[in-house]
């Protein structure tokens, strides 16, 4: 880990944090953020020092409060979180330089994004004097569950007018997906989505105006972060295109990077410019750049998260020909439709595979009327065992590069035994499998959640699964073309945990 990466680590693992603008005024950003950190310190999650700074208070939540950053009686502070009004930020940064601060998160808005570029430049110039890395301004900052750093000013709970308190901006559990975002609003929405879908997060970074720390810096940091297996990035523009491409090329050989870049349409680009002052540039240029450096681009929010889920859980595919295994004819056909739309195939099996299925029919283990050419349709008479044996036969076929399994739980003879059964079989192979169950009530939710927890990504529609498989294929092709597939798969196997 080089020195620049080490400096960024102060954002995630600081030994001391000062919150400039901490307050007891409920609902205020300075209240929510300080409370996040105070609670995490009290619970032993955050183990460093914590200093609230507010000239009007003596103490906050049991912590001695300081009049100014300069008044904190220590020589060095790792991280400052700045929530004071924009005009007061430069003075705080001067004090931060004196305190040998390593990293500063500027939550405050009202800088470049509303035309105050000079003010932003002034703050950054001061920070540079002191070699302070700055995240923001105009951002949510950091959420890192393991170290207890949580600078999100959006309260976790809200109280409805009925008096009922509900989860509003949840913090996801720890996991292997890093989420980094230019838009704070999209970031908070992403936390909500990821929590609800039980997708664990390694590091969350909202970088806002990226006056100093950019997406490239964070990608480089995450390259070295063993807790991160896949990186999700929301962008409106890219700062320093050449650097980005160079860093992304390095990162994507080791871990997949999925980007959603808004402003992809001309009208959207215009709207983005008015939103963040982002000069979006031609979307085709972005497309070409992302392709060149192995970044997987999602075209919609659902794709964005679905791609991330698939890549976090499964190895890439080493070819485009998929096996489709289903207990529901119609949804099986829908899967094949979307595979073809995505440029993938579901070719008929090789003779030896077809022969194995014929043998199963002869033995009465699957219905004589089951379709077994690919897609394999075990029909509504499916049983758990039929699914398990079929996954094995299909994966054994060298022409099959991955499997989409549609286990619609409605079929009377299907229980949940096939879930662990198919997962166990799939783990024998270095090929990806993704699963579909359709429905939004108990057993569908149970089935999908169970597969997810066992490391097989589940989806609620045939098309979502086919598109997620496409991401695995695309990434596999990129790695192969760039001589990275063997190293990636070695690393994948090393890290594959037995979760059953």
Would you count residue 334 as binding its own copies (CB under 8 A)? yes
Would you count residue 345 as binding its own copies (CB under 8 A)? yes
Would you count residue 158 as binding its own copies (CB under 8 A)? yes
71-90 positions binding its own copies, by CB under 8 A: none
Write out the DSSP string of 252-279.
Answer: HTTS-EEEEES--SHHHHHHHHHHH---
Q: What is the DSSP letter of 50?
A: E
Q: How far is the CB of 397 from its own copies (least distance, A)?
A: 17
Would you count residue 354 as binding its own copies (CB under 8 A)? no
Among residues 13, 70, 195, 399, the one that binds its own copies under rule CB under 8 A = 195
Q: Which is nearer to its own copies, 238 or 260 (CB)?
A: 260
Among residues 47, 131, 174, 265, the one that binds its own copies under rule CB under 8 A = 265
380-399 positions binding its own copies, by CB under 8 A: 380
Residue 95, judged by CB atoms within 10 A of its CB (0-12, 13-18, 19+), counts as buried
Q: Which is nearer to its own copies, 130 or 439 (CB)?
A: 439
Q: How far is the CB of 86 from its own copies (least distance, A)?
A: 12
Which has the closest alpha carbon to 36: 135, 134, 142? Answer: 142
Write out the DSSP string of 71-129.
Answer: GSSSS--SEEEE-S-GGGHHHHHHHHHHTT--EEEE----SGGGT-HHHHHHHHHHHHH
| Residue 354: HSE in the Cβ half-sphere, 13 Å Cα cutoff | 8
Would you count residue 62 as binding its own copies (CB under 8 A)? no
Q: What is the DSSP letter of 454?
A: T
Residues 357-376, mask of contacts with its own copies (x by CB under 8 A): ------------x-x-x-x-
Handedness of CA 54, 58, 61, 66 (dihedral sign): positive
Q: How far is the CB of 149 from its own copies (least distance, A)?
A: 19
Residues 305-324, mask of contacts with its own copies (x by CB under 8 A): -------------------x
Among residues 48, 130, 155, 484, the one that binds its own copies under rule CB under 8 A = 155
Between CA 233 and CA 216 the distance in angstroms is 11
Judged by CB under 8 A, the number of residues near its own copies is 90
Stretch that binds its own copies, among 4-12, 244-252, 397-405, 454-462 (CB under 8 A): 454-462
Q: Which is nearer to its own copies, 186 or 349 (CB)?
A: 186
Between CA 340 and CA 344 the distance in angstroms is 5
Among residues 4, 15, 27, 64, the one that binds its own copies under rule CB under 8 A = 27
Instruction: Provide the CA 373 distance to its chain's centre, in angstroms.
Output: 36
Stretch that binds its own copies, among 4-12, 248-256, 267-275, 475-483 (CB under 8 A): 267-275
Between CA 181 and CA 206 the distance in angstroms is 5
Stretch that binds its own copies, among 44-52, 71-79, 265-273, 481-489 (CB under 8 A): 265-273
Greatest CA separation found in the chain? 84
Among residues 74, 88, 114, 288, the one that binds its own copies under rule CB under 8 A = 114
Q: Residues 407, 435: contact at Cβ < 8 Å?
A: yes
Would you count residue 262 as binding its own copies (CB under 8 A)? yes
Would you count residue 343 as binding its own copies (CB under 8 A)? no
Among residues 170, 200, 319, 484, the one that binds its own copies under rule CB under 8 A = 170
Between CA 182 and CA 276 the distance in angstroms is 9
Would you count residue 263 as binding its own copies (CB under 8 A)? yes
Q: Which is nearer to its own copies, 100 or 264 (CB)?
A: 264
| Residue 334: HSE in the Cβ half-sphere, 13 Å Cα cutoff | 16
Among residues 220, 276, 383, 422, the one that binds its own copies under rule CB under 8 A = 276
- Using omega within 30 degrees of 0 as the cis cutoff, is the peptide bond preceding 375 cis? yes
């Amino acid at each position: 880990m080089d020195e620049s990466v080490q400096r960024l680590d102060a954002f995630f693992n600081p030994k001391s944090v000062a919150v400039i603008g901490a307050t007891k005024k409920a609902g205020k950003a300075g209240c929510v953020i300080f409370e996040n950190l105070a609670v995490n310190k009290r619970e032993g999650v955050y183990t460093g020092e914590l200093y609230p700074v507010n000239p009007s208070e003596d103490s906050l939540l049991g912590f001695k409060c300081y009049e100014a950053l300069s008044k904190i009686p220590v020589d060095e502070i790792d991280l400052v979180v700045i929530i004071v009004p924009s005009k007061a930020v430069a003075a705080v940064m001067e004090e931060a330089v004196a305190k040998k601060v390593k990293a500063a998160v500027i939550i405050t808005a009202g800088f470049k994004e509303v035309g105050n570029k000079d003010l932003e430049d002034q703050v950054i110039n001061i920070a540079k004097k002191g070699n302070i890395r700055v995240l923001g301004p105009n951002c949510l900052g950091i959420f890192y569950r393991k170290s207890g750093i949580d600078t999100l000013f959006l309260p976790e709970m809200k109280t409805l007018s009925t008096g009922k308190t509900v989860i509003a901006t949840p913090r996801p559990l720890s996991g292997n997906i890093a989420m980094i975002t230019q838009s704070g609003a999209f970031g908070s929405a992403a936390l909500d989505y990821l929590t609800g879908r039980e997708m664990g997060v390694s590091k969350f970074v909202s970088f806002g105006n990226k006056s100093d720390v950019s997406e490239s810096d964070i990608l480089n940091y995450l390259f070295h972060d063993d807790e991160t297996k896949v990186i999700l990035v929301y962008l409106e523009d890219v700062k320093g295109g050449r650097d980005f491409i160079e860093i992304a090329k390095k990162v994507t050989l080791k871990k997949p990077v999925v980007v959603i870049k808004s402003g992809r349409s001309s009208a959207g680009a215009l709207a983005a410019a008015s939103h963040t002052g982002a000069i979006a540039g031609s979307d085709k240029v972005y497309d070409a750049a992302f392709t060149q450096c192995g970044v997987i681009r999602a075209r919609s929010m659902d794709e964005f998260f679905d791609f991330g889920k698939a890549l976090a859980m499964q190895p890439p595919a080493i070819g485009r020909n998929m096996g489709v295994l289903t207990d529901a004819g119609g949804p099986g056909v829908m899967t094949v439709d979307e595979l073809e739309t995505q440029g993938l195939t579901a070719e008929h099996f090789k003779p030896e595979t077809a022969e194995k299925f014929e043998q199963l029919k002869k033995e009465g283990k699957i219905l004589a009327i089951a379709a077994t050419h690919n897609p394999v349709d075990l029909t509504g008479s499916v049983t758990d065992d039929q699914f398990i044996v079929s996954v094995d036969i299909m994966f054994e076929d060298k022409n099959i590069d991955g499997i989409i399994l549609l286990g619609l739980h409605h079929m009377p003879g299907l229980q949940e035994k096939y879930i662990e059964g198919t997962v166990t079989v799939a783990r024998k192979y270095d090929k990806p499998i993704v699963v579909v169950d359709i429905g939004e009530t108990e057993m569908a939710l149970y089935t999908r959640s169970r597969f997810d927890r066992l490391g097989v990504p589940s989806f609620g529609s045939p098309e979502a699964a086919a598109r997620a498989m496409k991401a695995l294929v695309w990434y596999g092709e990129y790695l192969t073309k760039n001589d990275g597939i063997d190293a990636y798969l070695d690393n994948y196997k090393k890290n594959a945990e037995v979760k059953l």
